[in-house]
């Protein structure tokens, strides 16, 4: 009975801490994992002693393994193919060349800073390849960086979790359990990875068939769909591990092919058509939050002061080498090109917190090593957890501040309504280099927009929390483009009064409602009048109308505020000579007054300059005047 009471106490404590951590995270805009890992140390045996993982006994590795499977499945489920196109080359480099640089660089740091054997150094290096969705996703949820940056970090996390789990186990067998030969190491790694991916794809295919072609109970269909997906995650993990054991691929500690299986299954299912996707995503999100809370707190509670004390200042050197030398080096190497700005590359370098995979696998290895080599076990756990703790606390806790300091949080344009008007507007904004998010509540419309490469947030745009989650607090433009004037008016009110957005524009379907929008300081665009103006241009000004149509296909007209010190005080003639070909300064706006540019006019800070010309040339001019 006492054992049952202890388990209940542990579960209640963990869930209570999880809720508190999430509330604090939402309020302070700091990733929840920061509070979870600190709380685990505080309530563990080294702190208040409220929970003791020892009550799980030998079942703890299995429980952690299944929990990690759910977390990795969740992360892979949200990796959509269209998002991966944002930075494909850079991402591939990070998970291949970057993983190798991380392994070697970390091993060198551990070997020479801690004076340990190459075997232990390579093992620590293998584990710390992983960044992982358990720590990256919570950061990306509160730091609205550009889509290409978030996708790159999340993809690297999911793939490297799999790589680190299998690589560390193979390395453990190779360097510490006496497996022979480098070719054997490579072969074992590839076989386990291949087995996991194959099993994951098979399970995903079965689940897709069940959800799309087998009639579920209408009353309980969403619940059954959620259950099937959960079973898929756990089933893929278990089946891969069973097959590895039956075929002799798994060693004494398992194969970790299950991690590869759940990652593959999650990725496939996340990119195919599934019924009840909303309910599935909500269920998985809630379940993952509970599992994440449990794993982080329980594993953090395993830490002892002796593990850290044994490393001393040498451990700090390892952390600095991993976070401030190895990570920036591999990121800067792998992101060479024009896909990311320099500030974005630095930000990716600064965000490499380690998470569940190294923590759970290091714990498992330490239990195996401690009887025959307690010094190696202490070094392994101490080094791995010190890097995890330091990177989660500093990189996770300061992620938003780092982004703000580097100015990599874009001022987004949010378009509410993904119909013909909203879609067309989003296309035009994206063509001009804006970071656009479409808010849409219709499931079919959401899927169509995502397939076409748009960044879409599912939800009702009249709800404050929906707009907030879409990035309204950092938006410079919110456009209400639905077919309902009442809806557009409410969206405009929220944007103007709650989020204080600089530019709020709304589609007005009935001309009689224009005044109501204007009274709220919302730019009202009457659908009827817009069509009339366009038709009048064709009738009265056909040359200009044709020119504007051609300009829309090949050219651009953009306005930018002058912030570059180098051009303040220059004459229009001097500025024009510095602009790229096929781009001309057409208008100067100063203190709301428009004027045609004269060659002798001087540019002042804060002037708004309107450029006209070819799209690429105009974009270069904008960057030149306002980096």
Highest mean pLDDT of the ranges 133-142, 163-172, 542-551: 163-172
How confident is the model over 397-444, as pLDDT tens digits? 788 889 888 888 777 889 999 988 999 888 888 776 678 889 998 878
Burial class (CB in 10 A: 0-12, 13-18, 19+), 185: middle
How confident is the model over 369-385, as pLDDT tens digits? 778 788 888 888 889 88
Owner of token pair 């449990």: 294
The better pLDDT of the pair 78, 467 is held by 467
Q: What is the pLDDT of residue 1?
A: 44
Alpha-carbon radius of gyration of the chain: 28
| 79 and 155 Cβ atoms separated by less than 8 Å | yes
Q: What is the pLDDT of residue 332?
A: 94
The better pLDDT of the pair 304, 417 is held by 417
Q: What is the pLDDT of residue 56?
A: 72
Burial class (CB in 10 A: 0-12, 13-18, 19+), 565: exposed
Statement: the pTM of the whole predicted model exceeds 0.85: no
Query: Averaged over 325-354, what is the pLDDT?
Result: 90
The 3-class secondary structure across 425-489, one letter per residue, is HHHHHHHCCCCEEEEECCHHHHHHHHHCCCCEEECCCCCHHHHHHCCHHHEEEEEECCCCHHHHH
Task: Collect all residues with Cβ–Cβ distance below 8 Å to 386 and sequence separation of at least 6.
Answer: 308, 311, 315, 316, 318, 319
Residue 219 pLDDT exceeds 60: no
Question: Half-sphere exposure (CA, 13 Å, Cβ side) for 389?
Answer: 24
Distances in whole angstroms, Cα of residue 22 to Cα of each of 15, 36, 229, 293, 360: 11, 9, 25, 10, 22
The rounded distance, in Å, linking the Cα atoms of 142 and 413 is 18
Residue 94 pLDDT exceeds 80: yes
Enter the tokens of residue 306.
Answer: 């002796």
Q: What is the pLDDT of residue 479?
A: 93
Enter the tokens of residue 27.
Answer: 């309020």
Order of strands, edge to edge, in the sheet holding 593-595? 555-561, 608-614, 583-590, 593-595
% residues pLDDT > 90 (the chain): 15
Closest CA to 418 of 460, 446, 392: 446
Distances in whole angstroms, Cα of residue 5 to Cα of each of 1, 9, 10, 55, 265: 6, 6, 9, 11, 37
Burial class (CB in 10 A: 0-12, 13-18, 19+), 27: exposed
SS3 category, 555: strand
The separation between CA 130 and the C-alpha centre of its own chain, rounded to angstroms, equals: 15
Residue 109 pLDDT exceeds 90: yes
Distances in whole angstroms, Cα of residue 389 to Cα of each of 36, 123, 315, 384: 11, 18, 12, 9
Residue 354 pLDDT exceeds 60: yes
Q: What is the pLDDT of residue 346?
A: 94
Q: What is the pLDDT of residue 310?
A: 78
DSSP structure class, residue 337: S
Across the chain, mean pLDDT equals 81
The better pLDDT of the pair 425, 6 is held by 425
The rounded distance, in Å, linking the Cα atoms of 243 and 447 is 36
Widest CA span of the chain, in angstroms? 91
| 198 and 259 Cβ atoms separated by less than 8 Å | no
The rounded distance, in Å, linking the Cα atoms of 265 and 233 is 7
The rounded distance, in Å, linking the Cα atoms of 426 and 429 is 5
- Give alpha helix (H) positions in 176-220: 182-213
Q: What is the pLDDT of residue 104?
A: 94
Q: Which residues pair with 350 in a beta bridge?
A: none
């Amino acid at each position: 009975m006492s054992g049952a009471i202890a388990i209940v106490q542990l579960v209640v404590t963990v869930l209570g801490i999880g809720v508190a951590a999430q509330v604090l995270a939402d309020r302070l805009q700091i990733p929840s994992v920061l509070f979870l890992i600190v709380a685990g140390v505080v309530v563990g045996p080294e702190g208040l002693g409220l929970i003791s993982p020892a009550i799980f006994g030998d079942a703890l590795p299995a429980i952690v393994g299944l929990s990690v499977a759910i977390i990795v499945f969740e992360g892979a489920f949200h990796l959509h193919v269209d998002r991966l196109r944002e930075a494909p080359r850079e991402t591939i480099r990070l998970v291949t060349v970057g993983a190798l640089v991380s392994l070697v660089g970390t091993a060198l740091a551990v070997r020479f800073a801690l004076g340990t054997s190459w075997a232990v150094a390579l093992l620590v290096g293998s584990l710390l390849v992983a960044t992982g969705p358990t720590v990256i996703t919570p950061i990306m949820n509160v730091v609205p960086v550009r889509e290409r940056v978030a996708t790159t970090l999340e993809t690297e996390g999911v793939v490297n979790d799999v790589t680190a789990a299998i690589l560390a186990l193979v390395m453990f067998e190779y360097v510490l359990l006496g497996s022979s030969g480098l070719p054997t190491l490579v072969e074992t790694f590839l076989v386990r990875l291949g087995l996991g991916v194959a099993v994951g794809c098979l399970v995903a295919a079965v689940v897709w068939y069940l959800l799309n072609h087998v009639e579920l109970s209408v009353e309980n269909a969403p619940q059954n769909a959620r259950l099937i997906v959960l079973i898929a995650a756990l089933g893929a993990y278990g089946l891969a591990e069973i097959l590895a054991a039956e075929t002799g691929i798994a060693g004494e500690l398992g194969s970790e092919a299950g991690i590869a299986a759940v990652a593959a299954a999650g990725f496939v299912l996340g990119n195919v058509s599934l019924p009840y996707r909303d309910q599935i995503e909500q269920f998985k999100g809630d379940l993952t939050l509970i599992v994440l809370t449990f794993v982080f707190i329980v594993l953090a509670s395993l830490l002892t002061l002796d593990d850290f004390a044994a490393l001393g200042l040498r451990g700090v050197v390892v952390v600095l080498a991993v976070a401030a030398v190895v990570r920036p080096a591999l990121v800067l190497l792998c992101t060479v090109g024009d896909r990311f700005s320099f500030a974005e590359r630095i930000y990716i370098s600064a965000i490499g917190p380690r998470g569940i995979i190294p923590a759970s696998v290091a714990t498992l290895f330490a239990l195996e090593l401690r009887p025959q080599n307690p010094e190696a076990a202490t070094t392994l756990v101490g080094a791995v957890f010190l890097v995890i703790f330091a990177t989660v606390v500093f990189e996770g806790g300061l992620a938003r501040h780092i982004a703000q300091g580097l100015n990599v949080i874009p001022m987004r344009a949010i378009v509410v309504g993904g119909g013909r008007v909203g879609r067309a507007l989003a296309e035009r904004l994206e063509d001009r280099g804006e970071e656009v998010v479409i808010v849409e509540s219709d499931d079919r419309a959401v899927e169509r927009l995502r397939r076409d490469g748009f960044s879409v947030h599912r939800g009702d745009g009249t709800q404050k929390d929906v707009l907030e989650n879409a990035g309204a607090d950092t938006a410079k433009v919110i456009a209400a483009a639905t077919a309902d004037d009442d809806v557009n008016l409410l969206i405009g009110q929220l944007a103007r009064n709650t989020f204080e957005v600089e530019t709020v524009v709304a589609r007005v379907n009935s001309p009689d409602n224009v005044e109501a929008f204007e009274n709220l300081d919302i730019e009202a665009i009457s659908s009827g009048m817009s069509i009339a103006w366009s038709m009048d241009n064709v009738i009265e000004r056909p040359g200009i109308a044709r020119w504007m149509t051609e300009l829309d296909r090949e050219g651009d007209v953009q306005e930018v505020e002058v912030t570059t010190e180098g051009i303040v005080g220059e004459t229009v003639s001097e500025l024009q000579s510095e602009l790229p070909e096929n781009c001309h300064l057409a208008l100067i706006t100063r203190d709301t007054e428009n004027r045609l540019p004269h060659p002798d006019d001087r540019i002042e800070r804060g002037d708004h300059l309107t450029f006209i010309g070819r799209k690429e040339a105009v974009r270069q001019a904008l960057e030149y005047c306002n980096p």
